[in-house]
Amino acid sequence: MDSEQIVEGFERVQKWDADVRIYLACQILETVVPPQIPRPRKTMTLEEIHAMLRTDTPPPTDEACNKIIEEERLKKYG
């Protein structure tokens, strides 16, 4: 189909009643299949992620956490 035929068809359709044009537009849109977005591939298990994030140092104590929080608050609010 060349551009002249498209323009001619469009000009013809513009003369139709609005409800018929809307119906045609819906029918055309239903024929368009949206591209499927592939799901990300799982490359690591949860256990592997945990192992990667594991450190040799012990977790901070409650006192150390409270100190960190207080320091961050002072940075943010002065």
pLDDT tens, the chain, 78 aa long? 788 898 899 899 999 999 999 999 999 988 887 778 788 777 888 888 888 888 999 989 999 999 999 999 999 998
**Which residues, other chains included, contact 60 with Cβ-Cβ below 8 Å and sequence gap of 6+?**
68
pTM score above 0.75 = no
**Vertex 12, ends 8 and 14: CA angle to 5°?**
120
Instruction: Report yes or no: 13 and 21 within 8 Å, Cβ to Cβ.
Output: yes
**What's the domain count of the chain?**
1
Nearest C-alpha neighbor of 11 from the set 21, 23, 22, 26: 21
Name the residue range of residue 60's domain: 3-34+43-77
Report the alpha-carbon distance of residue 9 to residue 21 in Å, rounded.
Answer: 12
pLDDT given at position 40: 76
pLDDT given at position 43: 85
